[in-house]
Every structure is written in C-alpha cells, then in structure tokens.
Structure 1
C-alpha cells in the first residue's frame, strides 16, 4: 500500500493535513489515481484544492466516530462541484462492535439520502486486518466503470496542486489533467504569471510517458520556470486556447443550512481548480439570495484565470468561516451591464450579445467550435440580416458609381459578396448591370488635351475626382490634377532634356520646353522626383533610376 501522509506532523498526529497522493491497480486491471484530502475543518482549504478536478469520490466515514459535521460539509462541497459518482468506505469496523457498525451504516444511509451518494455502495473495512479491502476494490472497479471518462477537447489544462524541485530534473508540478492530452515538448504557459515553459518529461504513477490523456494524474517536469515561481492554484495551459478573465458570471446555489441570506457584503473566497482567490461578488437581480435558493452572480477575480463555462467552484465567507455555496461558471467575458445580465451557458446568447464573434474567440469563450457564417465570424442572424439590408440601401443610394470597399467597416466588407444585386469591381461595390459613369469622363479628356497646362476641376463632383484618382486616370499633385498621359509625357520630356544636357536641367528650362508656367511646372517636377524619374541636385534635375530610355 501507499501512505499518502507526507509530513512528519501528519504521521505523528494520525491525521491528514495536506494533500496526499496514491495509485492502485484494480482487479479489472484499471489504474486508479487517488487524492487524499484532509477531513478536519481546519484544513478545509487544502481539501478544496484537491477535489477541484476529480471524477468521483471515495467517501470515508469511521465507524468509531460516525457522521460528523465535516462529513456533511464535505458532501455538500462535492455536490456543489458537480461530483456525481462515489463509493462510501465505512472504516475502522474492527475496533467497533457490531451494533455501532450497524448504527453508523444506518446513519450514513440517512445522511446521503437525496444526494449523489444515495444508493452508493457502503463497504465496511478495517485496514489493519484487511477486512473488506477486496470488497472495496471490487466496488471501486464498479465505480470506475460507471464514471464517464474525461473528454479530450484538444485544450489541456492542469491546475497545479504541488510544485517542487526534483534532483537532476528541476521543476516538477503535479495536478489532474483535463480538457486535452499533454505531450513531451509541448509549449505551454503558467498562469497567471504567463511564464512560458516546455514539457521536458511526463510521469503518471511513477512511470514515464511521452503522452498522457485527460483524466490522468500528472507529474510534469518543466523547462523555463523555477519551482519557487510556481504555487498551488497556478494553472498550466496553451495560452492562445483560453480566455483569461478577471470577471465572470455564474450560477450560485446557496446552502440550505445557512442561517442568513447571501449578499455582496462579506469577505468572500472562491475555490476553483486548485486555487483559493479572494473575490468581490454582486448578485444579479435581487439584493440577496436566501438559504437554499439559486441565483446568478458576477464575480471579480484579483488576477486573470483561464476559465470556461461549466467550471465549478465553491464559495466561502472567511469572516464567518463557513461555506456559502457553489456553482457553475456561465459566461467568462460578460458584455452586459450587471443590471441587465441574464447569464446562461447558451452559445447562441453569447453570439447574440456580441453580434459578430470571431470563430476562434467564440471557442475560447464557450468551449464550443462553430463554423463561421461569414468569413471568420459567427454572426447573429438578426445582425447579419440588418447588416445586409443597410449595405443594400447604401449601394442603392449612391447610384451606379457604387461604394468604396475601403470605406466600409470589416463586417460590411465581409458580407459585400453576399449581396445578390451588387458585385465587387475595382475595389467598389456597384449595382449589377450598372454602367460606369466615369467611362470617357470629359474632365479626363480635357486634361489629356492640355497635359502641361491642365484646367481646374470646376464643376466636377469631388467623389468622381477621388474615384478617378484611385483608378489612376488622374494624378493629383499639390492640388493640381494631371492626366496619366501628362505624367508620361513629362517623363519623356525630362529624358530628352537630359540627353541634351546630361549635367541636368533647371526649372526654367523644363518650363520653357513644356510651354507652361511655374505654377504647373513645379508640381510636375515634384512628382517626377518622388517617383524616381528624376533627382534634384541643387537647382537642377538629373536622371533618376526610373528615367525612361528614349
């Protein structure tokens, strides 16, 4: 067997103080990991650190002591954490007489009535003599067969319950793996610090593995962090797969045995995963929740944690040293004001509240993968319909010239291709069958007819000017418009002048050759300089790398 008590004080006092760990192989050959948690109320926070990721429980009641207050509290905590399967071990039956054992059994059956342990096997055992241990192994085998196996969603998360330094290996952390498999050489991060680490090696039940599935007790040898940089309550994840939150909405089931309502007042402490976190809490809706009732709450964490809807927690009030209740995370990134929030685990609600959600972000927020509706977004149907209608109205209002795609927001650009009565042409969304109103535009013709002394754009619509410039039909330099052919002609003129005088030409020489004034010559030369056709050297222009060859 394995003695899970690791500290001298535990062995001397005969009680568990901190978490202990053991493993066994059952008659079926199934391997079982056991986390031994303290029973005494003084060590309740250590108990809570150990039960956050378990699948089922072995509930221990000593025949010599019977059902105790901490038995009741532990049972309620297991229920709050959503544990649904268990076996009850009635221990120390050797020192107890038959009547005491029968009385203890009846008391257990009465106390677990209406809980997940109702109908669970109650196995009488006595460890020193070995009495009932074979029956307990069989009951545990049945328990393993009845307990659902952990699902692999490809998103591993390990809440650290122990960190230490192993000689010759370095930092080792332990915990119960959930959400996905871990492999040697995986790149992970420790949160909330965000320290990047790599998995050097993996162990389960003292055996090395290259990969461990979810549900495994893991000892993970890490590269990249010292053992004193990792503490119980930290969590090991792939950062980009999780939403790290400091505020979440949740359900809260208040324990019936409380003698007062629960409100936002109080020094509340949240137990989630393997961690203990002081939190601020607001009741959503009423001012308080009565004992035995259930409601919604908004919880503010002191540091960001990678959470997911469905995560379970226990809430205690440190001032009264009592367990208040517990519940389930519903929304890891609430967008509604607390006064209007109505949280649940519906993915459709998350999409509706946001309208447009990146599919990868939606998976981080909800744990559910949905195919995008438009481009990379999952879209609320009402929002999608509204966006399409607004875009259709906008296209109709601007006429055949259409809308510039660059002026649309990302969502409008994403749905532009879904409009059946509009098409994308040359960076614009135009009505189907529309005749290009800028074809053979008279202003372009006027500029081409007078390339070096262009007329002003009097009477020309500014939107049409912008579109002609965007198309490259016009070039605007210092507020003056030139035709594209004028720029080409100016480049050829500069090339001829440099053939005549390779040392360069002045502005006046260019102006006289172009037959224009300084007003039109200077912008042309400035454009030639900026495009590499010419270069300015003092008062003259010389050949640039893009000067055309005559």
Structure 2
C-alpha cells in the first residue's frame, strides 16, 4: 500500500480530489460537510489499476489548522501537493510546501486541480519553480478536474508507479495515532499510518502518549481499510483495537511502539536545515513536530546548523528521524535531522566545544561505524534503540567498541597493570573492579574487549603474563626454594615460615607468580613437588585410600589430604567411593595451578 497526504491551500479542491479518486468522502464531521471546509484529518482509500491500494490522509488547508496539517504530513512519506488552476500558488500553499520540505517527504505528486475552470499552465509553472527552490522533488504536474474526471486516470497511474517505491518496510513498529475512539463490545481503537515493521494480533506494544512514557498494551484486533486482519506490515493505514486501554491514554500524538526498540527522550541533538544553507532563524522557544505528535521545546544553539532541543515531554526517536521545528510567532517551519536522541548533559569546561566537534561530522544516517567512532563504547541494546543495524551473522556482544578506542584503552590497561606491579609487588594483579574504576569503564565485562595477549587472568585477578619475578620477592623465593627442596612434601608450618622470615603476603605473592602452589591455607608446595607426587600416585593400585597415599608419599596427613583435594579440583584425581577411595583420571600435562 502507498499512503499519501494531501497538501495545499484551503478551497483548492483537496477533499474533492480525494472523493473523486476513492468514491469516499474524507470529511467525517457534520460541520465539515455543512461548511464545505476540512477542519480535521480525513481518510479514504482506493484500489489502483495494478491491484495495489492507495490510502489518503486529507489535511485541512486553512491557516488556523496548522497543527492539524503538520499532524497529517508528519507520518507519511508521500504527498499530493494540490494547486488550483484558477487561483494558483498562495500563502498556505507555500506554508504546506515548507512543511513538506521540513519533514523531507521524499515522494511528491504535483496536482493542478480545477482545470475545467482555468488554464493549468501558469499555476503549474509557478509551483514547479517554488518546489525546486525548497529542494523538493518537482515532478511533471498532473492536470485534473474532480468535476469532469479529467486527469484522474493519469493520477491513478502515477500512484501505481509511485507505489513501487513502497515495499513492506522492515524494522520495529512506531504507529503514530491520529484518531482514537471506542467501539461497543471491543473497547479502544486507534488509527494511524504504519510506515514500517509488522504488527500482529496478540503483540505487546509500548504506549508513548503525549504526556510521556506509558505502559504496555496488547493488540486485540487489526483492521486495514475496514477489513479484519491478523497482521499488517507498513506502509499501511491501520486501525488497532487495544485490550483494556482507556481512551484517554491514547490521544492524537501517541505512539504504539515495539518494546525496547526506541529511545524515548527529552534531550535531543539535531542538525537544522534552512533554505540556501543560511543559518536558521529560530527563537529559544519552539514547537517540535514528529509524526502526529507535537512538543514545546527549548532550543539551544550549538553552531549555525547544530542545536540541542529540550522537549517538554518525551518522544520515541531513532537516529535520522526528521522533525519539523516551528517558530510559534512567525509560523516559520524548518527541518531538523536527529543526530543523537541519547544526548548527554553538557557539563565542564570545553564540553560544548567537544560536543560541537563530535556533531559536525555526524551524518544522521543510522550507521554503526559512525556511532562507534563518535561514542567509542556502546551497548548493543542501545544501538537497537537508536535504530542502528547491527552486523548480521555474528553472535551479539553486549558491548561494542571502536577500534581506535579499544587501542587506547588497551594501552592504558597495560600501563595500569605495570604501574600497579611496581608499586605492589606482593599483590601484583588487579581485580576487575579496580580496573573498571581506574579506567572509568561502565562495566567489568568491557575488560574482555581490551585484554592484551601480554596479560592473563587468574581467579578474577589480572596481571602480566610470563612476567619476571619482582626484585622485592627474590629473597623470599630463594628461601622458599631452599626450604621446600629440603623438606619435599613435608611442607613448613606457618610458624616455620615466620622463623624463616617469609611473610604470608610474600607466600601469596609467590603463589600468584607460579613459584609456589597453595593446596590449602598454610600449605605451600613447589610445582615440581606436586608433579613428583602425581608420579608416585600413578604407581599405586587403584582405587587407593588416603592412607595408601600417605605411605607412598611419606608425608603427613595435614599435607596429603589437601594435596589430594587440590588434585581433585585440577581433574587429576577423582573420588570413586564415599569413603575417599580415589583413582587418577588423567595424567597432568602441565604444572598444576594454585587454588589461591
């Protein structure tokens, strides 16, 4: 389906054209029919020659209904700009054309109406020049008459060609509501234009009403052009029956959203678009329009074409969304591309300058590489909420990092580990929490992205891999080596280590450096001694008991029991009976690691 809005001056024949095309009257209100004047948004549809369908959002042309006109143009990507042959281009035509340019509506048909009353040539020529001056597409005009039927077939054919540019849109749902009403026995129904995504009966949707974030709701039913369906994909006009949602919760300007797929924000950085690239003349207090929603906002200039908007209430946004920003005093309407809907507060000296520099290169296109370059480190979930496609075919990581930022953080991590090792040789490794705080990381899991091959992690502590023993531990290492070589598996007690002048902190540091192995508190052995013990155990008949191991190893129970438990943890031995009989499960391939 193609969904298009009408645009043009009051009484230029927009509603009459829609009636002639569809056979349906878009004016719903009795007052509209009585006065022959569109006061609110109207809706109608028709089948095209190809079998595809066109739906129309008819907007009021009177200057007093500017807000309603913007609500009609905001959610669509195609429009008919209607100019009457007998009246030509007018002030409201220009205002509507400015709104089309502000929203960057990409598909436009120029329709000259009332061609039975005047030559369409002059009106068409002026309209063509005005559109080009605003940077809008300026297609060949289609001359029509709702009274005689002239040009209606050509207009339907043009719609058919244009509909090929509107395949079903992927992505999450954001349905802007333009009507809400109650149906007896069904409850609340909202209508709107769905540009992309698929909505199904039974889906959960988030409600973002005009006052801010709302709750979730369940889709009870769907209708497309008065026909009940179980699912609908954009672009289409859609009526949605919501389960147990009060009517007041979904006024015009509300949105039905795919959960966790949008940034709902009040602080937004944008690039302003003005004719002829001149600095946009806007006051500090403006009105912002997106979809059918409007928000008062405070505008802060960051540069000639860059600004920050502080909205009075949240809007659901993606990078690249197009806002219309209006001066309430002069009715000037300018376009604004959303660069960052997750804007951070500006604080500290030089923060505004850094923000300007970062935003100057922002394109407003939803590209992951651009976001990583600007942000450095991001959550994958945040990228989805910003509308940034993630790489396909790869396992999703919680955190994504820019390559240059990764390089910088990896260098800082190496410097941090080296510095800490020099200052604290007895505890040379750092915990993940210490690294997180020192580097200002948001999550300890980011460390996995910046770990160097020159670093290793052991029992939650990170230090240098294959690092030489610090000079401060050389003496303690010599004493421990001499004592343990002499004692073998009859390891010194805590009292004996104190007599030797080796502190508990030094013993633990030697363990972390791999000089010693600590099978249990106050039991320290060399890796060679443990390897030799395993070789002795391999000669025992299996299964063997603790007493068998004590006899074979010629070692006291205070050593043998924790040694066997250590070998159990390493997967070298395993218990086969409840009373402690063991067997060797595998021969060790390297020195057993400490449990310290």
TM-score class, shorter-chain normalisation, is 0.7 to 0.9
Match of 1:185 among 186, 199, 202: 202
* In 1, Cα distance between equivalents of 2:386 and 2:500: 54
Moved more, 458-467 or 132-141: 458-467
* In 2, Cα distance between equivalents of 1:370 and 1:230: 35
Match of 1:83 in 2: 105
Match status 1:313 vs 2:346 = no
* In 1, Cα distance between equivalents of 2:324 and 2:30: 30
Match of 1:24 in 2: 46
1:380 to partner: Cα distance: 2.1
Match of 2:75 in 1: 53
CA-atom RMSD, angstroms?
3.8
Match of 1:151 among 144, 169, 190: 169
Match status 1:135 vs 2:135 = no
1:189 to partner: Cα distance: 0.9
Match of 1:38 among 55, 60, 76: 60
SS of the residue corresponding to residue 267 of structure 2 reads strand
* In 2, Cα distance between equivalents of 1:447 and 1:228: 81
1:248 to partner: Cα distance: 0.8
* In 2, Cα distance between equivalents of 1:108 and 1:453: 100
* In 1, Cα distance between equivalents of 2:391 and 2:498: 58
Match of 1:109 in 2: 128
Deviations 1:271-301 (A, max 9, x none): 1111111000011125xxxxxxxx1111111
Task: Trace 1:117-266 onto structure 2 (pairs within 5 A).
Answer: 119-145=138-164, 147-149=165-167, 151-153=169-171, 155-191=172-208, 192-255=212-275, 262-265=281-284
* In 2, Cα distance between equivalents of 1:171 and 1:355: 44
Match of 1:2 among 20, 24, 34: 24
1:378 to partner: Cα distance: 1.5
Deviations 1:324-352 (A, max 9, x none): 41221111112464443232236445324
Match status 1:414 vs 2:478 = no
SS of the residue corresponding to residue 355 of structure 2 reads coil
* In 2, Cα distance between equivalents of 1:226 and 1:187: 16
- Contact 1:311–1:329 at 8 Å: present in 2 too? yes
- Contact 2:261–2:386 at 8 Å: present in 1 too? no
Match status 1:355 vs 2:376 = yes
Cα distance 1:40–1:375, how it changes in 2: closer, same or farther (>3 A)?
closer
Cα distance 1:390–1:89, how it changes in 2: closer, same or farther (>3 A)?
closer
Moved more, 232-241 or 351-360: 351-360
1:82 to partner: Cα distance: 1.1
Cα distance 1:209–1:59, how it changes in 2: closer, same or farther (>3 A)?
same
Match of 1:280 among 288, 293, 298: 298
SS of the residue corresponding to residue 341 of structure 1 reads helix
Match status 1:426 vs 2:483 = no
Match of 1:364 in 2: 385
- Contact 1:370–1:378 at 8 Å: present in 2 too? no
Moved more, 203-212 or 440-449: 440-449
* In 2, Cα distance between equivalents of 1:347 and 1:330: 13
Match status 1:327 vs 2:310 = no
1:465 to partner: Cα distance: 4.9
Cα distance 1:450–1:332, how it changes in 2: closer, same or farther (>3 A)?
same
SS of the residue corresponding to residue 329 of structure 2 reads coil
- Contact 1:401–1:430 at 8 Å: present in 2 too? no
- Contact 2:38–2:59 at 8 Å: present in 1 too? yes
Match of 1:341 in 2: 355
When the two structures are superposed, what TM-score results if normalisation uses the length of structure 1?
A: 0.74
Cα distance 1:483–1:117, how it changes in 2: closer, same or farther (>3 A)?
closer
* In 2, Cα distance between equivalents of 1:236 and 1:32: 23
* In 2, Cα distance between equivalents of 1:50 and 1:463: 75
1:216 to partner: Cα distance: 1.3
SS of the residue corresponding to residue 309 of structure 2 reads strand
* In 1, Cα distance between equivalents of 2:373 and 2:253: 33
Deviations 1:359-411 (A, max 9, x none): 22123235231478995322122221122223334444527975244443215
* In 2, Cα distance between equivalents of 1:484 and 1:78: 79
* In 1, Cα distance between equivalents of 2:283 and 2:193: 32
- Contact 1:203–1:209 at 8 Å: present in 2 too? yes
Cα distance 1:330–1:65, how it changes in 2: closer, same or farther (>3 A)?
same
Deviations 1:435-464 (A, max 9, x none): 898999699999976689996998626475
Unaligned runs of 5+ in 1: 287-294, 476-481, 486-547
- Contact 2:101–2:136 at 8 Å: present in 1 too? no
1:149 to partner: Cα distance: 3.3
Deviations 1:173-200 (A, max 9, x none): 1111134111111111101332110111
1:56 to partner: Cα distance: 1.1
Task: Trace 1:352-501 onto structure 2 (pairs within 5 A).
Answer: 352-370=373-391, 376-397=398-419, 398=421, 402-406=428-432, 407-409=434-436, 410=444, 413-415=447-449, 418-433=451-466, 460=503, 462=505, 465=508
Cα distance 1:347–1:105, how it changes in 2: closer, same or farther (>3 A)?
same
1:356 to partner: Cα distance: 1.6
- Contact 1:249–1:332 at 8 Å: present in 2 too? yes
* In 1, Cα distance between equivalents of 2:106 and 2:36: 30
